[in-house]
C-alpha cells in the first residue's frame, strides 16, 4: 500500500515535470515570464491551501494548471466575441528584420500605436533560432488579431541570418520587410556601448576595432561586420524584389518620426493614423517620446537603456571608420536607391 502510493506520487511528479518541460520547450523565451508568474501563483495557492488545511478551513482552492491560453480571454475582446467576431492568431504579414541598434524597438513602438497593427510583444527569433519548431509554434507567439488587423514581428538578427531570406520566403512570398538603418559608425559605437554595459571588462572600442594596434580594421568583429549593410542586403534581394522592402532612416526616425511613419503606413497599406500629434520631443533624452501608446495611455519615452550615452571615441578612429564604410555605404545607396547621407 505504502509502496503503491509512493509510486503513484512519483508517476504524478514525473508527469508534471514532463508537462513543464514541454511547456518550456513550446513557449520558450517569450512565455517564460508568464510561466514564472503562473508558477508563483501556483506556489502561493498551494501555500494557501496548506495554511487553510492546517487551520481546518474547508475551502479547497481550485488550482488550474498554468493557464497559458488565458490571454485569449482578455476582457478587451469580450465586446468582439459578443458580436460573433473571433480574434485569431496569424502569421505576420510584415517583419522588422533589422538592423540591430538601428532603432527597431522605436519603430515597432511607433507603428503599433496604429489600431490596425498588432505586434508580437518580444523578439521571437523564429527565423534564426527557433525555425525547427515550425510555423505553428511561430503563429502561437503572435498576438490576437481581428479581421483587418495586420500582424508584425520584429527580430533584428533576421537581417544578418544567412538562412532567413529563404525561410521567410517559404512562409509568405509577398511579406513586407522593414529595415531600419543608421550610420554604420554610430551604429557600431551603440552596439559596443550596449555590449560593454553588460560586460564592463571589455577592451576599449579603439582596441577592438583594429588588429593589434595597427590601422587595419578587424572586419570580423561583430559591431563592424554588421554595418556592411550591402553585403547582407544582397542575400535578401536574391529572394525578394526591392519593392517588398522598405528602408527606414534611423536618423530621421529620431528627428522627424512622423515623416518616416507616414512612409511606413503607406508601405503597409494602412490608413495614415500615426502622425505628428502622437509625438513630442524630450530634449533631455534627445529622443522623440509618445503621448500615449498601446501599452500606456500617459506620455512616456522609451526604456532607460535606449539612448544611452556613448563613450568618447578618438576622432581619428572615427575618421578611419568613415573611410572604411564609405564604399559599402555607396553600394547600399545604389542597391536601395536612397542616399541616407551618412558622413
Ligand X SMILES: *[C@@H]1O[C@H](CO)[C@@H](O)[C@H](O)[C@H]1NC(C)=O
Residue 80: CB partners within 8 Å, gap ≥ 6? 86, 87, 146
Whether omega before 141 lies within 30 degrees of 0, making that bond cis, reads no
CA pseudo-torsion sign 166, 171, 177, 181: negative
Beta strand spans in the chain (E) = 88-89, 94-98, 117-119, 144-145, 150-154, 176-181, 245-249, 279-282, 287-290
Q: Is 167 annotated as a binding residue?
A: no
101 is catalytic: yes
Give the strands of the sheet with 117-119, arranged side by side: 117-119, 150-154, 94-98, 176-181, 245-249
Q: How far is the CB of 249 from ligand X (least distance, A)?
A: 23
**Contact set with ligand X (CB under 6 A):** 38, 41-42, 45, 61, 63-64, 211-212, 218, 220-221, 282, 284-285, 289, 299, 301
Q: Is 53 annotated as a binding residue?
A: no
Q: Is 306 annotated as a binding residue?
A: yes
Q: How far is the CB of 210 from ligand X (least distance, A)?
A: 8
CA-to-CA dists, residue 178 to 67, 104, 107, 222, angstroms: 34, 9, 10, 22
Q: How far is the CB of 152 from ligand X (least distance, A)?
A: 25
Which residue lies nearer to ligand X by CB, 172 or 218? 218
Catalytic residue among 8, 76, 100, 101: 101
Q: Is 141 annotated as a binding residue?
A: no
Q: Is 234 annotated as a binding residue?
A: no
Read off the C-alpha cell for 40. Answer: 508563483
Q: Is 102 annotated as a binding residue?
A: yes
Q: How far is the CB of 196 from ligand X (least distance, A)?
A: 14
Which residue lies nearer to ligand X by CB, 317 or 335? 317
Q: How far is the CB of 46 from ligand X (least distance, A)?
A: 9
**Pairing status of strand 279-282 against strand 287-290:** antiparallel
Burial-class residue 103 by CB neighbours within 10 Å (0-12, 13-18, 19+): buried
Which residue lies nearer to ligand X by CB, 1 or 60? 60
Q: How far apart are CA 160 and CA 172, in angstroms?
A: 19
Annotated binding site for 3'-phosphoadenylyl sulfate: 101-105, 182, 190, 306-310
Which residue numbers are catalytic? 101
Annotated binding site: 101-105, 182, 190, 306-310
Amino acid at each position: 500500500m505504502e509502496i503503491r502510493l509512493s509510486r503513484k506520487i512519483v508517476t504524478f511528479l514525473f508527469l508534471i515535470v514532463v508537462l513543464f518541460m514541454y511547456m518550456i520547450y513550446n513557449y520558450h523565451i517569450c512565455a517564460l515570464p508568464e510561466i514564472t508568474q503562473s508558477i508563483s501563483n501556483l506556489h502561493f495557492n498551494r501555500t494557501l491551501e496548506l495554511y487553510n488545511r492546517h487551520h481546518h478551513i474547508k475551502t479547497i482552492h481550485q488550482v488550474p494548471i498554468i493557464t497559458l491560453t488565458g490571454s485569449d480571454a482578455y476582457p478587451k475582446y469580450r465586446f468582439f466575441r459578443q458580436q460573433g467576431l473571433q480574434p485569431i492568431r496569424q502569421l505576420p504579414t510584415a517583419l522588422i528584420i533589422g538592423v540591430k541598434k538601428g532603432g527597431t524597438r522605436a519603430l515597432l513602438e511607433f507603428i503599433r500605436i496604429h489600431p490596425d497593427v498588432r505586434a508580437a510583444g518580444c523578439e521571437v527569433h523564429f527565423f534564426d533560432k527557433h525555425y525547427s519548431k515550425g510555423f505553428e509554434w511561430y503563429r502561437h507567439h503572435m498576438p490576437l488579431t481581428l479581421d483587418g488587423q495586420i500582424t508584425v514581428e520584429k527580430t533584428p538578427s533576421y537581417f544578418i541570418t544567412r538562412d532567413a531570406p529563404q525561410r521567410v520566403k517559404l512562409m509568405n512570398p509577398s511579406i513586407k520587410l522593414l529595415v531600419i538603418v543608421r550610420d554604420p559608425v554610430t551604429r557600431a559605437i551603440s552596439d559596443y556601448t550596449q555590449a560593454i554595459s553588460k560586460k564592463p571588462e571589455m577592451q576599449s572600442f579603439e582596441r577592438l576595432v583594429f588588429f593589434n594596434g595597427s590601422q587595419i580594421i578587424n572586419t570580423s568583429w561583430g559591431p563592424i561586420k554588421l554595418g556592411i549593410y550591402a553585403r547582407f542586403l544582397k542575400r535578401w534581394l536574391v529572394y525578394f524584389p526591392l519593392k517588398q522592402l522598405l528602408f527606414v532612416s534611423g536618423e530621421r526616425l529620431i528627428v522627424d518620426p512622423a515623416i518616416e511613419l507616414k512612409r511606413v503606413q503607406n508601405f503597409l497599406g494602412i490608413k495614415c493614423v500615426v502622425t505628428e500629434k502622437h509625438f513630442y520631443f524630450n530634449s533631455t533624452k534627445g529622443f522623440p517620446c509618445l503621448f500615449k501608446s498601446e501599452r500606456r495611455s500617459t506620455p512616456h519615452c522609451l526604456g532607460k537603456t535606449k539612448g544611452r550615452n556613448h563613450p568618447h571615441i578618438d576622432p581619428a578612429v572615427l575618421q578611419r571608420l568613415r573611410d572604411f564604410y564609405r564604399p559599402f555605404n555607396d553600394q547600399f545607396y545604389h542597391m536601395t536607391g536612397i542616399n541616407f547621407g551618412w558622413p
